[in-house]
Amino acid sequence: MSIALLVLTLGSCAPAQRTSDDEDVYLPDDRAARSTTAPDSLRCTDRATIPQIEHVTNAKWSADSSGLAVSRIVTVPSSVTISGYEEDVRVSVLNLATGAMRELGQGSRPEWSASGMYLSYWREDGYLYVDQGGTTVAKIETSDPEVRWKGDGLYFWYDDEIRVWHDGAVDTVTHVDPGLIPRYPRDDAYFSADAERFTVTRYSLDGSAERYLGDTSTGQMTLLEEPGITYTEWAPKGQTLLVRSNDRILLRDPAGTDRAAPLSAFAGPVHGWTADGRLLVGAVSATVPGGNVFDRLPVWDPDDEGDRAIATLPNLLGMRSFSPDGRWFDGVSRTGNYGTELELFRCGVAGGQGVDLRADPASRSRLARIASDPRQFVRPVAGAISQFLQGNHTGIDIAAPVGSLIVAADAGVVDAVGWVQVGGRRVCVQHQSEIESCYYHTSAALVSIGDHVARGQPIALIGMTGATTGPHVHWEVKREGRIVDPLGL
């Protein structure tokens, strides 16, 4: 029975026709009986059959790639919102081999320990919870929701202390300078993949920010003095730090060596990571519905100029990621203008194998549902609405992890990119009928003024710039200069 279920999970491969400019990309009518090319570890083109998990905002892999902890939206009635409902985020665990789901309840930001024994997540009550096989084994007070597991030790912040939880005991690792304590949600702090180092970013309402690199064992922090930084992110392995500005990217290794390149040198501005920690930079097609186009993102490895690897990935939304073993690529696709579902694609597929997207019934069905919706706007983020347009609030707040893709709600022309008071870094798009949509609190713009964008095209990354209550986008829409509700467009 387990073997049969695993076969169903892995799905099937379908060959397709070869294009003239790329011998590894296939389209519908070349029906070769078998592939003549070797498997490509970065070719993720075979959609897996998994249970339908709707309204997904984020997913985190277990270290052995056998399970996914999924954050998903559940709609609940509300008497205090203008909509009559609220969107609650809950955590579920998917066992890949069996397809079984286990519910953990309200929460977000799931993270696995290295052994897979523990799963931590953050709840709205301000505590970290640690789950072990369906049992809550710890409730931890912390001053910041971002954590990192090292083995089965959970590293977290408590004011000026870096602490570690292990087997029910909490110990203080070190203290940091009281003047540099990260104050969430005004500041943010992230540990490297191995928890050996960390970053702290302190934002100011004038648009400036101070960014520090720290050593977890000592608490010592040094100023990251690279000019024009808008975004930093740790690689999924080791201690490599990605540093982005509006016009270039930089990788800094543990020794402090920098390798940089202008963004203009790449085919697009969207970045990602391979399972082994190499950087991908390129273009992601419009995510409408998502999972209906395969994009090609080159690996940028400045230490190996001969590395010409290219990842062939579906144009999924959300926090797109490889499993730790590199066998899977996940993200979400749209089931309509606002709804999403988890998607999983198998990697290591040979040329001529994988789903035939031009004849794919799932993609066609989603496109048909989107086309039949009387509304034109799509939800710009795979995230939960945390605040509606009501009272003095001038837009829709959608919460999502830092670095998540923000996409254009509709086609148009970019008419504003830059900093504004309170709203932080923003991107605005001018649409037809004198409608303008703006996206605030972003960390990095992926477009420039004058760019034409399609509905669902990536335009920015989720951040915490300006005055925020946590990572989210403030989605504001005006018609002829007057605020309107984007949910009605």
pLDDT in tens, 123-134: 989 999 999 999
pLDDT (0 to 100) of residue 54: 94
Rounded mean pLDDT of 261-285?
Answer: 96
Q: Closest by alpha carbon to 444, among 273, 202, 247? A: 247
pLDDT per position as a tens digit, 291-321: 999 999 999 988 777 678 999 999 999 989 9
Q: Which domains are assigned to the chain? A: 38-371 (2.130.10.10), 384-488 (2.70.70.10)
pLDDT (0 to 100) of residue 38: 83
Q: Closest by alpha carbon to 169, among 145, 146, 153, 148? A: 153
pLDDT (0 to 100) of residue 302: 83
Q: What's the Cα-to-Cα distance from 415 to each of 245, 358, 412, 454, 480, rounded to whole Å?
A: 20, 34, 9, 14, 15
Residue given tokens 């399970």 in the structure block? 67
SS (H, E, C) the chain: CHHHHHHHHHCCCCCCEECCCCCCCEECCCCCCCCCCCEECCECCEECCCCCCECEEEEEECCCCCEEEEEEEEEEECCCCCCCEEEEEEEEEEECCCCCEEEEEECEEEEECCCCCCEEEECCCCEEEEEECCEEEEEEECCCCCCEEECCEEEEEECCEEEEEECCEEEEEEECCHHHCCCCCCEEEEECCCCCEEEEEEECCCCCEEEEEEECCCCCEEECCCCCEEEEEECCCCCCEEEEECCEEEEECCCCCEEEEEHHHCCCCEEEECCCCCEEEECCCCCCCCCCCEEEEEEECCCCCCCCCEEEEECCEEEEEECCCCCEEEEEEECCCCCEEEEEEECCEECCCCCCHHHCHHHHHHHHHHHHCCCCCCCCCCCEEEECCCCCCCCEEEECCCCCEEECCCCEEEEEEEEECCCEEEEEEECCCCEEEEEEEEEEECCCCCCEECCCCEEEEEECCCCCCCCEEEEEEEECCEEECHHHC
Strand order in the sheet with 279-282: 270-273, 279-282, 294-300, 310-314
User: Residue 421: is its pLDDT beyond 70?
Assistant: yes
Count CB atoms within 10 A of the CB of residue 333. 26
pLDDT (0 to 100) of residue 21: 37
> What six digits make up the tokens of 75?
């709609």
d(CA 230, CA 2): 47
Rounded mean pLDDT of 201-206?
Answer: 90
d(CA 443, CA 245): 10
> What six digits make up the tokens of 466?
């300006």
User: Residue 10: is its pLDDT beyond 50?
Assistant: no
Count CB atoms within 10 A of the CB of residue 267. 12
Residue given tokens 């990935």 in the structure block? 313
User: Residue 468: is its pLDDT beyond 70?
Assistant: yes
* Residue 348, strand partner residues: none
d(CA 290, CA 280): 19
Q: What's the Cα-to-Cα distance from 199 to each of 15, 220, 233, rounded to whole Å?
A: 45, 11, 9
d(CA 400, CA 57): 7
User: Residue 209: is its pLDDT beyond 70?
Assistant: yes
pLDDT band at 369; cut points 50, 70, 90: very high
pLDDT per position as a tens digit, 97-111: 999 999 999 999 999
Percent of the chain with pLDDT over 90: 82
Supply the mean pLDDT for the chain. 90
pLDDT (0 to 100) of residue 12: 39
User: Residue 7: is its pLDDT beyond 60?
Assistant: no
| Contact call for residues 83 and 355 (beta carbons, < 8 A) | no
Amino acid at 65: S
21: CB partners within 8 A, 6+ apart: none
pLDDT (0 to 100) of residue 303: 78
